[in-house]
Structure 1
Amino acid sequence: MGKVRKKTKNTFNYSVNRKKLKRKAQKKAAPRITCDEIRNAWNDAKSVASNLADMGLASDPNKALPIHGNKAKNAEQSQVRKPYVLEELKALASLPSKKTMGISSDMVLYVRHMVENYGENYKAMARDEQNYYQDTPKQIQRKVNLYKRHHPAEYQALITSRTKQ
């Protein structure tokens, strides 16, 4: 006959402070710093405010630029220990942005098709098969104008190729 296994009972550990454990886990799972420049200069042993002060950044804008010009606070903040972070951030901000808010690729294709086939006849565009969303002539005109603003050279090329045909 087999042996009976003795199961140890799960007992509560009173010597562990669960609240502290939870706080520690939340701190570790806090959002990561996405900015490479700041993350590289960050010191985990220091507080957020002292880290930002070392980099020349402000943790609280109200204290950084007080309404009543307190000269003592302004003199304190001039002690930047990591000026290279500010220089890197300025260089990054001065670069032209790669992302432009504008038109989706689907809308570009839609407008190109409409302009190639109909020119500026918006009523005919509204009756086209590719007008899946049943846009009114006015809505199509707005989309074409948006395309004109974002891609003026391409729009002129479409119009000139249409007139040559």
Structure 2
Amino acid sequence: MGKIKKSRKRNTFNYNKNKKKLKKKLRRKEKPHIECPQIRKAWDEHKTVKQNLQDMGLAPGTKGMLPIKPKKNTKVEPMETNVLKPYVIEEMEAEASVRGNDRTTCSTDMIEYVQHMVKEHNEDYKAMARDEKNYYQDTPKQIKRKVELYKRCHPEQYAAFIASLQSQKST
């Protein structure tokens, strides 16, 4: 009997695989990328995850964070925290306290729609719902939400629009 065909095949170098890329991919799996820049900056490669997080004053998980209520006779000792890098928490709190910009905007069609409705009916949302330009058959509450969205997204433009309406009515 002869040998199986597969066992006779000699190992050859595969030129189609990028060995450098594969090695980088493996290294990335071993050490995941830390998203938080404050933690990444304070991270020490020579320490374990638990040691690094303890130095920063962070907890690796929720387990053990809240003490279990002890029985009546035992005394509770406060947990010792040795925070060697308090600036990490301070920077994270500062970043969290900064309010982000509101990026919502209104389409030009919706702006025209809202301006028409306000021009014709002022604040009467029921009349707006019965308007013939209400193509999408919005309910009064939906129209009210659209008007409020327009007010919130473009406050200067809305104020100028209302001022122009006031000047037209007074004339």
TM-score, length of structure 2 as denominator length: 0.58
The aligned amino acid for 2:43 is: W
Structure 2 unpaired stretches of 5+ = 1-8, 13-24, 71-75
> Which one has a bigger Cα radius of gyration?
2
36-45 or 107-116, which deviates more: 107-116
| 1:46 CA displacement | 2.7
Quote the sequence identity (%): 45
**2:3 aligned partner:** none
**2:61 aligned partner:** 60
The aligned amino acid for 1:44 is: E
The aligned amino acid for 1:60 is: G
Separation in 2 of the partners of 1:132 and 1:38? 52
| 1:26 CA displacement | 2.7
- Secondary structure at the aligned position of 2:64 is classed as helix
Aligned with 2:132 (options 100, 112, 127): 127
Q: 2:77 matched to 1:71?
A: yes
Note if contact 2:53-2:60 (Cα within 8 Å) is conserved in structure 1. Answer: yes
Separation in 2 of the partners of 1:44 and 1:114? 62
Task: Give runs of aligned pairs for residues 32-111 of structure 1, distance below 5 A.
Answer: 32-68=33-69, 70-71=76-77, 74-75=79-80, 78-95=81-98, 97-100=99-102, 103-106=104-107, 109=111, 110-111=113-114
Separation in 2 of the partners of 1:143 and 1:119? 14
TM-score, length of structure 1 as denominator length: 0.60
- Secondary structure at the aligned position of 1:63 is classed as coil
> Please, what is the CA RMSD of the aligned residues?
3.6
